[in-house]
Amino acid sequence: MKRELLKRMVALGMTVAMTGALVGCGSSKDTAEAPAPVAEDLVEESVDSASDGSVEGALEGVTLSFGTSGLFAPFSYYDEDGELIGFDVDFCNALKDYLGFEIDGDMQAMDYSALTTSLAEGKLDFGMAALCATDERKQVMNFSETYCDSGQSIAVNKETSPAELTSVDMLTSGDYKVAVEKGTASHMYALNIGIPESALEIHDEITTAYESLEQGKVDALIQDTPGLAYYIKTAEDSKIEIKGEPFNQGQSPYAIAISFDCADANPGIVEIFNQAIADLIADGTFAELSAKWLE
């Protein structure tokens, strides 16, 4: 790796305050549209930061292993032909083209629990999968600056869920069965607010959690608002709707996860990714991808 360049990147002390937001609103299928990032307020700062010194090509000759989930549309998922697609997949490719690194083999798709474990153990160099930069995860891996902030919502089945179930606070009673995806911010949030473990139905994949709610096997589901809104918008004949307003805002920041081993082997790589995110916002790439996947 070009260690001298990387050391210069560290010396620059480049940081970017990324406060983009994804906001999902509404309490019915008609109003649960897929949210879009609000990035306009970042562009001026990004342009100023990029003018100090571009990092284009800074990782030429570097090969990095990459992991994602393939389970969370519209960020990373499989299309009907079995191709891995989504916002994070395209954003990863844009970063690869801009910085000049290569992906080691294929993009590796796995469930969130396996993905975070692989990053924590250094089996993957970096990952993007609408990964939330939680305090717990920061103890075992590095994160770039936030590029999206999702918040979470609860969803119910319009035909089978109790009519009185209208807010996440009601779930702490333990009277309702709640589906969550294992290892996600929604799973951690459910535990943190005191929903009894006996009331949780934990799924390895979000797709089976949706199926459980569609079939009336659970009363509610907690999920990141963008993915939930996208599912409701695209699922044929879905019985699911969002109840109440998004919650846990500011506590579900999506960022690029970078393993400690990768950062040790490539000094300055976190700062380089931060600057690259800023540069791709400044040149319009981020806006193009947002229009393609998140609007």
Using one digit for the tens of pLDDT, what is the confidence trace for 256-277?
A: 999 999 999 999 999 999 999 9
Phi and psi torsions of 4, nearest 5°: -65, -40
- Beta pairing partners, 64: 103
CB of 83 closer than 8 Å to CB of 176: no
pLDDT at position 2 over 50: no
pTM (whole model) above 0.75: no
Residue 294 binned pLDDT confidence (cut-offs 50, 70, 90): confident
- Mean pLDDT of all residues in the chain? 83
Out of 28-37, 154-163, 205-214, pick the least confident. 28-37
CA separation for the pair 241, 155 (Å, rounded) = 5
* Residues 61, 20 contacting (CB under 8 angstroms): no
- How does pLDDT run across 40-85, given as a tens digit for each residue? 333 334 334 344 578 999 999 999 999 999 988 899 999 999 999 9
* Nearest Cα to Cα of residue 210 among 167, 156, 151, 153: 156
Q: Average pLDDT of 13-22? A: 32
> Residue 22 pLDDT > 70, yes or no?
no
pLDDT of 120 > 90? The answer is: yes
Q: How confident is the model at residue 39 (pLDDT cuts 50, 70, 90)?
A: very low
Confidence of residue 251 (pLDDT cuts 50, 70, 90): low
Domains and their CATH numbers in the chain: 35-149+252-293 (3.40.190.10), 152-247 (3.40.190.10)
- CB-count burial class (<10 Å; 0-12, 13-18, 19+) for 3: exposed
Query: Helices H, strands E: what count in the chain?
Result: 11, 17
Pairing of strands 240-247, 71-72: unpaired
With beta carbons less than 8 A apart as the criterion, state whether 33 and 233 touch: yes
Q: What's the whole-number mean pLDDT along residues 176-182?
A: 96
* pLDDT for residue 183: 85
Question: What pLDDT score does 128 carry?
Answer: 97
How is the beta sheet containing 178-181 ordered, strand by strand? Answer: 200-203, 178-181, 220-224, 152-157, 240-247
pLDDT of res. 29 = 31
pLDDT at 27 over 70: no
CA–CA separation, 101 and 58 (whole Å): 8
- Predicted confidence (pLDDT) at residue 175 exceeds the cutoff of 80: yes
Distance CA 178, CA 221 (A): 5
φ/ψ of 102, rounded to 5, equals -115, 150
Average pLDDT over residues 236-257: 89
- Residue 149 pLDDT more than 80? no
Amino acid occupying residue 276: A
Considering just the CA atoms, what is the radius of gyration of the chain in Å? 19
- Of the candidates 161, 151, 179, the one whose C-alpha atom is nearest the C-alpha of residue 252 is 151
160 torsion bin: left (phi>0), alpha (psi -120 to 50), beta (else): alpha
Q: What percent of the chain has pLDDT over 90?
A: 64
